[in-house]
Structure 1
Amino acid sequence: MTDFLPITKIPRTGLPAHALVVGDPDRASAVAELLDGAALIGQNREYRTFAGTWRGVPVVVSSHGVGGAGAVCQFAELAEAGVHTFVRFGTAGALRADIADGDLVVAEAAVRDDGVTQQLIHPEFPAYATPEAVLALAGAAAAHGLRAHRGVVWTRAAFSPMVLRLPVADYVAARVIAIEMELSTLLVFAALRGLRAGGVLVIDGNAAVDNDNPTGYNPHRQVVTDAVAAGSRAALDALVELT
């Protein structure tokens, strides 16, 4: 036995109870710069993990990469090391015309098209956010003056279509408001473990029509960068309210 966990290389015990999880390791580093006393406590593959404090509350910030299969490995190791409250802070494509680039989406639940939770629990089991997390995230967005929308998001394993077409039109018709790649995995994992979880996402484009050329996708625009910076603080505020 080593004193760190095998996939994320974080300490086996003693982590703060609250974690902000993000996809991009560089985003984890940027959020960590906002914390007091931030220190790198684990790094391996796509997983980069920091501990520090926000408004006096100890927190973890950790990256999980792209997709649910890798992300659930991070969630499991964070939980083993002491985390019981998770907020995912990421980006998403809007599925409604009135949701603009730079807006926030607070997830109330997620469509389980993630490619991994179907191997953890029957498909009828819902992916739902902890109600207190939804309220805290919506309240924090409002307090920061950020435009936010609440609703169901679609977590999809495939980034773009190939031979098979993906049911975008069906979920648009069902009033699903955004699409991303990891949140339903977190919500199901947390529910099965008796943990708390929620998610807030920055909109970086409109995905109401599936894009056959994903190389044309451009999230690296100032409106998205500014919203990520502001949303980071709102997400941290909401996280530490969930005591």
Structure 2
Amino acid sequence: MTSTVQETLPISGIPRTGLPAHAIVVGDPARAAAVAGLLDDAKEVSYHREYRTFTGTWQGLPVVVSSHGVGAPGALCLFQELAEAGVTHFIRLGTAGAIRPGVGDGDLVVADAAVRDDGVTQQLIPAEYPAFAAPEAVLALQRAARAAKAPYHRGVVWTRAAFRPGFLPLPADAYERAGIAAIEMELSALYVFASTRGLLAGGALVVDGANADELVDEEATGGYDPHRAVVADGVTRGARITLDALRLLAAEDAGLPAQRTP
């Protein structure tokens, strides 16, 4: 009996081969659709569980936009399958809660590195291994943010597996004193995966809550509201910045001037 290879990958349902090399990964399937709406020739190529994937072009660059859901373990499944399908450059466009004073709602945080409190990478590689962005990605995001005249910050972020506080104390005060910029749930897994596979990754996070007390106060966390105009505007701005950063990276790889086309 002749065996056949499935044409799609089992977790995300994306094509097994042939995706563009440059990808934006987001948490929310609806956000993936919104980012895809900015592209030319956008088409949905798969939608399985929380994994919704589109392809299209941005300023002539073929790109993938794909959602990974909430939490690092499931997100890692997507990152692995995207890499298998041909993606080599990843930027996560997500949302985050601000920790560092001066980081405001709707601002963009360009993440140089991440604290590995993600609940999955500890099972893959020793805890001493760092979660770090590719410098090229950080500089491309910074350049794109400056060109857009967008409020942005650089720094280390805290990737934490649990969304709401439980019974254990959190080191939020220590991380604030250490200058951690923001908290989110998936980025360290992307950084560890990419760096251990020789891939390029960066992260751009839109702040959807600028009160560090929410990290330790369950009542305050219950008042968390990411569905505000300042956040929506920041995400739309962040999507364009992230797409421009991918274009800058592609131009750098090709040794071409990264001029925006009309």
* Structure-2 residue corresponding to 1:167: 171
Separation in structure 2 between the aligned mates of residue 24 and residue 77 of structure 1, nearest angstrom: 18
**Distance in 1 between residues matched to 2:70 and 2:174, nearest whole Å:** 24
Which portions of structure 1, spanning 4 or more consecutive aligned residues, are displaced by more than 2 angstroms? none
Q: 1: CA distance between counterparts of 2:18 and 2:222?
A: 41
* Percentage of pairs with the same residue: 64
Query: Which secondary structure does the structure 1 equivalent of 2:212 belong to?
Result: coil
Distance 2:171 2:35 in 1: 34
- Structure 1 distance, partners of 2:229, 2:109, is 18
> How far apart are 1:207 and its partner, in Å?
4.2
2:21 matches 1:17: yes
Q: Which residue of 1 aligns with 2:255?
A: none
Matches within 5 A, 1:181-200: 181-200=185-204
Write the letter of the residue equivalent to 1:205. G
Matched, 1:225 2:232: yes
- Aligned-residue CA RMSD in angstroms? 0.8
| Structure 1 residue matching 2:34: 3-state secondary structure | helix
* TM-score between both structures, scaled by the size of structure 1: 0.98
Is the CA contact (8 Å cut-off) linking 1:85 and 1:197 kept in structure 2?
A: yes
Superposition pairs for residues 75-114 of structure 1, below 5 Å?
Answer: 75-114=79-118
Measured in 1, the distance between the counterparts of 2:36 and 2:200 equals 22
Aligned to 1:215: 222
Opposite residue 148 of structure 1, the aligned amino acid is: Y
Distance in 1, Cα, partners of 2:23 & 2:192: 16
1:170-226 Cα distance to aligned partner (Å, 9 max, x none): 111111110000000000000111000000000111242223133311000000011
Indicate yes or no: 2:60 matched with 1:60: no
Aligned-pair CA distance for 1:97: 2.3
Q: List alignment gaps of at least 5 residues for structure 1.
A: none
Of 92-101 and 14-23, more deviation after overlay is shown by: 92-101
TM-score by length of 2: 0.91
Q: State the distance in 1 between where 2:211 and 2:84 align.
A: 35
* Residue of structure 1 equivalent to 2:246: 239
Is there any run of 5+ residues in structure 2 with no aligned partner, and where?
A: 251-262
Shift of 1:62: 0.2
2:147 is the counterpart of 1:143? yes
Candidates 149, 154, 158, aligned match of 2:162: 158
Count of aligned pairs between the two proteins: 243
In the TM superposition, what is the alpha-carbon distance from 1:161 to its structure 2 partner? 1.3
